[in-house]
Structure 1
Amino acid sequence: MLSVSDAEAIILNLVQPLDPQRDIEIIDLLAADRRIISTPVTSKLDFPHWDNSAMDGYAVRYEDVQQPTSLEIVEEIPAGYQPQSIVQPGQAARIFTGAVMPMGADTVVMQEKTRREDNLVFILAAPQPQEFVRHKGAFYQAGKQLLPRGVKLNPPEIAVLAAAQCAELSVYRRPRVAIFSSGDELVTPDKVLEPGQIVDSNQYALAALVKETGGEPLLLGIIQDNPDALREAIAYAITHADIVLSSGGVSVGDYDYIDQILESLGAEIHIQSVAISPGKPLTVATFPTPHSPPVSYT
């Protein structure tokens, strides 16, 4: 009997990755939450897009402000505005956070270290060279890899892609997971329970877990304890899904047919029991066909 950790290792080693050429979809960025990138992403934009100010203050020439001085204000540059002036010796431009640096200026003096009187700004303390200037391409250069293949897209990554104007993405399709339960005693939640019956809650739990982890559940419902019906369900599932999960039918009772059916369909059984309670009967099998899905039965 296998330990839980050994069984987990076997199952993970059986998983086959999706093909980055065949198993992909092109989707809109708004639909990309929790999807997996199938192709490395690049952008045509530099980050920052241009030299800009990291602070509200004054854009100056460093050589003019190595000691306290006063400068003529020649322009005001809010964010989103294209500067119209070239900062000359003895001049400064009022600038705000994120705004484009004007030509001629190479340093920003934060406003807390200045005093303004009409059209003059008094520099009260010398800044460092290029202080509070974010240079074009300092964070990312256009054409380089922005996000590698295999990254799961969460809100921070989606924000980065939006800023990079990546409106469409190549992502892996969602793995298809067929799910069914077996047992004559099972009924759906909407049925009135008769003596001896129980509600098939496992199928709902498994479907929710598949969705939570990014898969696409394919619900096949409740299959009765009938070898022909089970064989038909399994044969259908392995041709329509990447992974098949079933609940029930793998113990040693007279109505537990799953293992026999798997062998008759040519499956290789890797696991039949695990040292855990409850849940010791656990069958994991694969089918010897190209791109065959791992098949797990519990």
Structure 2
Amino acid sequence: MLSVQVAEDLILNAIHPPQEAETVALTTALGRVLAQPVTSPGDLPPWDNSAMDGYAVRSPDVHSCPVTLEVVEEIAAGQVPCHQLQPGEAARIFTGAMVPPGADAIAIQEETQREGDRVTLLNPPQPGFIRKQGSYCRQGEVILPAGTRIGPAEMAVLATVQALSLLVYPQPKVAIFSTGNELIPPDATLQPGQIVDSNQWALTAAVSQLGAIAIPLGIVPDQPDALRAKMEAAISQADLVLSTGGVSVGDYDYVEGLLGELGGDIQIRSVAIKPGKPLTVANFPQCLYFGIPGNPVSALVTFWRFIAPALRKRAGLAAPWGPQWVEGRSPQTLKADGKRETYLWGQLHWPQGRPEFHPASGGHNSGNLINLARTTALAVLPVGVKEIAAGEPVQILVI
């Protein structure tokens, strides 16, 4: 068995970043990954503007207060000033409005008294109430590097710089199917000995959440010819293939043998991880194949630990691609058998800003997916560690 870290390294070395790109409109760019950096076409802000409602003034006029100035202009947001301030003058100004020539300070409205065309400043203006031209970024500066996934904040930035078309990487295509004579789809009538296939739904959702294109291919019985045909079809149309079941050492576990027959370069046969030990990974020229354990929890833990990093790299995201880790504590003692790197599922809380792991109630059985619901993190017990006492440090994988 390979260690978890060795398995992760092999997988990331086998997956390759995208080599092509495509152009999309800003309106359809959400969730896509930039294939080239975006630079600012001009300074931002493009001109000095006021951060507050108040009065634009000249510093030499207001170093000693109270002082009364003549109000010579009113400037609303969207208007261009038409007067250069002279000694003894002020301009009424509103948040976001252009600062008039000659002004270098803003007296906030709450610290002034207005009478007609005269305003009295009660206190000297404080610095920082003018947003200076170029203080956010300069013309030609990279504002979003290549490898950035476009989320709501990035959409706002792109709209601000009027980037109406963008070069992005193609979304990875992931073929997904389940194997097993006992499996039925959710809309079939359950008979004795049968199991509803949940893995395909879970993995399709997980793949879609990462911005990839899921291609669900249904259920395949434990028949070599049917399985081989499905594997060939999946390999021919996807960047990654995820099949669940058929990767252990039973009489009906055909996946590894068929991968060899199809020309796959098998990189991994088993990993010292719990749950998820019987993981098979094979490299093909056009895709990477993951033969995942059929137990529902094993399937998702395998996805979170190994497949999600591979998908991030294949999507063109900037490194690092691996899981996000935090060190926290648990109010409960965490236990394992110490033989394999063990992942316990549960929820991550942040009392007083400190990460705290709460294990799922009802135990950690890889066949019981009911208490997997609402999982937001996995606590990790390394090989050789049988117990982490309550309150002791523990590594937590954030989902």
TM > 0.5 = yes
Question: Larger radius of gyration, structure 1 or 2?
Answer: 1
Alignment of 1:134-153 (within 5 A): 134-153=131-150
Shift of residue 131, structure 1, vs aligned partner: 5.0
Which residue number corresponds to residue 157 of structure 1? 154
3-state SS of 1:273 partner:
coil
Name the CA distance, whole Å, in 2 between partners of 1:264 and 1:240: 18
Q: Percent identity at matched positions?
A: 53
Which residue number corresponds to residue 90 of structure 1? 88
Are 2:30 and 2:151, in contact at CA under 8 Å, matched by a contact in 1? yes
Which residue number corresponds to residue 243 of structure 1? 240
1:254 to 247, 251, 255: 251
Are 1:43 and 1:166, in contact at CA under 8 Å, matched by a contact in 2? no
Name the CA distance, whole Å, in 2 between partners of 1:166 and 1:244: 35
Name the CA distance, whole Å, in 2 between partners of 1:97 and 1:276: 57
Instruction: Pick which of 273-282 and 240-249 moved more.
Output: 273-282
The one-letter code sitting in structure 2 at the alignment partner of 1:284 is: V
The one-letter code sitting in structure 1 at the alignment partner of 2:11 is: I
Name the CA distance, whole Å, in 2 between partners of 1:259 and 1:137: 59
2:25 aligned with 1:31: no
Shift of residue 231, structure 1, vs aligned partner: 1.7
Which residue number corresponds to residue 289 of structure 2? 295
The one-letter code sitting in structure 2 at the alignment partner of 1:107 is: A
Alignment of 1:104-143 (within 5 A): 104-127=102-125, 131-143=128-140
Are 1:83 and 1:102, in contact at CA under 8 Å, matched by a contact in 2? yes
Which residue number corresponds to residue 272 of structure 2? 275
The one-letter code sitting in structure 2 at the alignment partner of 1:223 is: V
Deviations 1:123-151 (A, max 9, x none): 223336x6522211111112221110011
2:207 to 183, 207, 210: 210
Shift of residue 51, structure 1, vs aligned partner: 0.9
Name the CA distance, whole Å, in 2 between partners of 1:134 and 1:192: 65
3-state SS of 1:17 partner:
coil
Which residue number corresponds to residue 18 of structure 1? 18
Name the CA distance, whole Å, in 1 between partners of 2:70 and 2:197: 79
Name the CA distance, whole Å, in 2 between partners of 1:143 and 1:244: 41
2:46 aligned with 1:52: no
Alignment of 1:198-237 (within 5 A): 198-237=195-234
The one-letter code sitting in structure 1 at the alignment partner of 2:210 is: T
Are 2:68 and 2:121, in contact at CA under 8 Å, matched by a contact in 1? yes
Instruction: Pick which of 274-283 and 244-253 moved more.
Output: 274-283
Which residue number corresponds to residue 389 of structure 2? none
1:81 to 79, 82, 104: 79
2:190 aligned with 1:197: no
Are 1:16 and 1:293, in contact at CA under 8 Å, matched by a contact in 2? no
3-state SS of 1:67 partner:
coil
3-state SS of 1:149 partner:
coil
Name the CA distance, whole Å, in 2 between partners of 1:100 and 1:86: 12
Name the CA distance, whole Å, in 1 between partners of 2:89 and 2:273: 77
The one-letter code sitting in structure 1 at the alignment partner of 2:239 is: D
> 5+ residue gaps in structure 2?
293-399
3-state SS of 1:16 partner:
coil
Name the CA distance, whole Å, in 1 between partners of 2:228 and 2:283: 15
Name the CA distance, whole Å, in 1 between partners of 2:218 and 2:88: 80
Shift of residue 276, structure 1, vs aligned partner: 3.6
Report the aligned-residue RMSD: 1.8
Are 1:178 and 1:243, in contact at CA under 8 Å, matched by a contact in 2? yes
Deviations 1:166-221 (A, max 9, x none): 23322222110011111222211111123322211111111111111111111111
3-state SS of 1:178 partner:
strand
Distance 1:262 1:87, change over 3 A: same
Alignment of 1:59-74 (within 5 A): 59-68=56-65, 69-74=67-72
Name the CA distance, whole Å, in 2 between partners of 1:107 and 1:279: 63
Are 2:40 and 2:137, in contact at CA under 8 Å, matched by a contact in 1? no
> 5+ residue gaps in structure 1?
none
Structure with higher RCO (Cα < 8 A, 6+ apart): 1
3-state SS of 2:13 partner:
helix
3-state SS of 1:10 partner:
helix
Name the CA distance, whole Å, in 1 between partners of 2:115 and 2:277: 82
Shift of residue 278, structure 1, vs aligned partner: 4.6
